[in-house]
Amino acid sequence: MITKNNVLGALVNGGRLARRAYELAKPVVANVCERAVEGVEDVREKFSEEPTDATVEDLLSYYQSEGLVGEEELATLQTLCLIHGKCFGIYAASGSGKSFVVEKLFKLVPERWVYRMELGSKTAVYYDEDAVNRARVIYIPELQKAMQTNNSLVTEMLKSVSEGRDSVRRVTTKGKVDTYRIQAGKGIVFTLAKENTFKYDAELARRFLVFETDESEEQTEKILSRKPLLRNRRNGKGYGRLRKHIANCMQQNFQFNNPYLEEVVEEIPRTMLARTYTDHLFDLFEASARFNYRRRNVVDNVVEVDVEDIELVCGCYWNTFIETLGADPGEFTSSFSHHARLTEPTSYNP
């Protein structure tokens, strides 16, 4: 017999079941919607209009418009590393601007492409594997803090991903084994203060390009003299064209041909470290060709590295490269490094 109470009870129970189903489905629906939006944005980022071009001068003008004073070589090198998927770190004194320059770099790419490694728990990066794997870059601000939180986990992740391998962690809970996987194919960026007792070791250095900020008195004077202008500036023009170009560069699956490698090798000192670090130099040549691909010869998806790419990279990085090999830049100069010296731009054309 159907009574009023039976009907009300059924409605209440049905409402509870519906509410429970909604709560269970909500994160799944949210994730599907998020991925759908990301997919649309990725398509829009790449195909909303004909791919646009950008130059190194445009890039430096952007950094200047964002308040970066000097540091033209560092700004160029970190951008090349980003678009080419290279792992790199900035090792510098506290207060010298290492975090500032990295943050300006990340403004050039969609926010979802950068995963900021939080240190709330020792395994947080693995438990957040979906967000990490959707990103193109893992950013570790203050590497020493991450290493102090859990040295072995962070070291394993850095080692695996920087070598092009997935980083896998298996956790057993009540007899059940859960597998967490950070996929390879992404860059890693870190900052590290010189004052900290933690120092990156030789093994880490072999896998990462390591740059430093300019800590000279001349750079300090330049920053101080520019501060009044920066303080009183108004919001500048946008940088949509440059941002689109960076996104397109990162999404191209190029191969490269470099006809200048034998000439470069002739000028490299024959130290043991050259066996490893020379590959970093070669990668930067290709990264420059990637950034300039609209002005390079591209046949069957193979980009021809131009002499301008060699000159740009050697002009920015040669001395640091030679010092990394344990040699004297005064004794081992490059015939390419004197042709392209970067200077501060006078204006920005968005």
Identify the residue with better confidence: 171 or 11. 171
Model pLDDT, residue 298: 95
Instruction: Say how far apart CA 307 and CA 319 lie, in whole Å.
Output: 18
Model pLDDT, residue 98: 87
In the chain, list all ranges with CATH 3.40.50.300.
71-226
Mean pLDDT of 274-297: 95
Radius of gyration of the chain (CA): 24
| pLDDT over 70 at 57, yes or no | yes
Identify the residue with better confidence: 271 or 98. 271
Report H helices in 150-214: 151-162, 202-207
The band of 321, judged by pLDDT with boundaries at 50, 70 and 90, is very high
What region does 11 belong to: left with phi over 0, alpha with psi -120 to 50, or beta? alpha
| pLDDT over 60 at 30, yes or no | no
CA–CA distance from 259 to each of 10, 73, 263, 264 (Å)? 78, 24, 9, 10
The band of 42, judged by pLDDT with boundaries at 50, 70 and 90, is low
Instruction: Encode pLDDT of 336-345 as tens digits.
Output: 876 555 555 5
What region does 294 belong to: left with phi over 0, alpha with psi -120 to 50, or beta? alpha
The answer, as to whether pTM is greater than 0.85, is no
Q: Report yes or no: 137 and 115 within 8 Å, Cβ to Cβ.
A: yes
Identify the residue with better confidence: 35 or 333. 333
Out of 183-192, 254-263, 264-273, pick the least confident: 183-192
Average per-residue pLDDT for the chain? 81
Mean pLDDT of 184-199: 83
Local structure of 122: helix, strand or coil: coil
In percent, the amount of the chain with pLDDT more than 90 equals 43
Model pLDDT, residue 183: 85
Model pLDDT, residue 237: 65
CA–CA distance from 229 to each of 180, 185, 224, 225, 232 (Å)? 49, 41, 10, 8, 5
Fold of 71-226: Rossmann fold (3.40.50)
| pLDDT over 90 at 17, yes or no | no
Model pLDDT, residue 56: 93
Winning range, highest mean pLDDT, from 40-49, 88-97, 244-253? 244-253
